[in-house]
Amino acid sequence: MGLKSRRFGHGDPEVMMDINTTPLIDVMLVLLVMLIITIPIQLHAVNLELPVGTPPQTNIQPEKIQIDIDEKSTVYWQGLPVSAADLEDKMNLISTMTPQPEVHIRPNKDCSYAVFANVLSTSKRKGLTKMAVIGHEQFVQ
């Protein structure tokens, strides 16, 4: 095996196997500039008509209704045990009140999910919108 030397005038000239990428880069830069120029500027603006002035002060605080569900899946309304029918009647009564009271549901972590879901679905059927589940930190393990 012989070793070819790169002396001038001796041996076969070597073929250049590299691609000249300078023209390719120039063409890509021209295309990029043309693309940037031709794309219109997008303005993401939403026109709102905001009220002028200060809103009136409301000193009326809504009433808070506490619904507890213990580990035996017994439902308590403001600390007193209630049946499913009584719960529906009381929710129907507070749904007509103005302003609507806030309903705070505090389930025990060992209660039945079906009872909790029943309380939530009853409140939705009666049109209660101010609902909160209190004490959900106990479910994080």
Is 43 inside a domain boundary? no
Is 21 inside a domain boundary? no
Are 77 and 67 spatial neighbours (Cβ–Cβ below 8 Å)? yes
Q: Residue 35 belongs to what H/E stretch?
A: helix 22-38
Number of domains in the chain: 1
Classify residue 132 by its DSSP letter. E
pTM: 0.56
User: 135: closest CA among 111, 115, 100, 99?
Assistant: 111
Q: Residue 69 belongs to what H/E stretch?
A: strand 64-69
80: helix, coil or strand? Answer: strand
CATH of the domain at 84: 3.30.420
Q: Which residues span the domain enclosing 129?
A: 64-139
Encode pLDDT of 5-64 as tens digits. Answer: 555 556 667 777 788 888 899 999 999 999 888 887 776 777 778 888 888 887 878 889
Q: What is the average pLDDT score of the chain?
A: 85
Phi, psi torsion values for 65, nearest 5 degrees: -105, 125
Q: Residue 107 belongs to what H/E stretch?
A: strand 102-107
Is 28 inside a domain boundary? no
- When pLDDT is cut at 50, 70 and 90, the band that residue 88 belongs to is very high
- When pLDDT is cut at 50, 70 and 90, the band that residue 137 belongs to is confident
